[in-house]
Structure 1
Amino acid sequence: MLLKKVYKVSSKGKDDTPRLFLQHLVCEAASFVPGEKLSVTERGDQIIISELKETNMNQISVSSRKNQSTGIRRPLVDTAKESYKK
């Protein structure tokens, strides 16, 4: 799936490390499931996110956040917060 301008790369946290953030609408459109392991690769000006086929240092996990009005857990990707990295 090719997505344009749906992700945010910023700095957050003590180490001021780069952060990749994808909201639930993007994660749901890509069929990401909480707990799924993903691989992130940079190619030029593109970030490629794919299912993890082997362990590498660019591994991230799909997390989830509970919707306050519906109570439904929705997937998200956020590499800045420690609880989202698990």
Structure 2
Amino acid sequence: MRVMYFAWVRHKIGISQEEVSPPADVTDVASLMRWLAGRSPGHAEAFAQPAHVRAAVNHAFCQPDHPVGPDDEIAFFPPVTGG
């Protein structure tokens, strides 16, 4: 699974992407975020407030309950505002 980080999420974690192999109980975006939060202090800081992080799976914006699998590309980024 490829995980990519953008903007302040990348800054807190300190890398722009990584290849990960989460355990079998990581089945959706929310559980992936919880698992990633345990990887380092930077990950923990980036995912401390999950409601402030958006996700896309395979280039499609998705909700926390969206399923993830080993061949997916998941991107995490801050909410985008416009106006």
Indicate whether the TM-score tops 0.5: no
TM-score, normalised on structure 1? 0.36
TM-score by length of 2: 0.37
Per chain length, whose mean CA-contact separation is higher, i.e. which structure has more relative contact order (CA < 8 Å, sep 6+)? 2
Larger Rg: 1
More strand by share: 1
The structure with the greater share of residues assigned to helix is 2
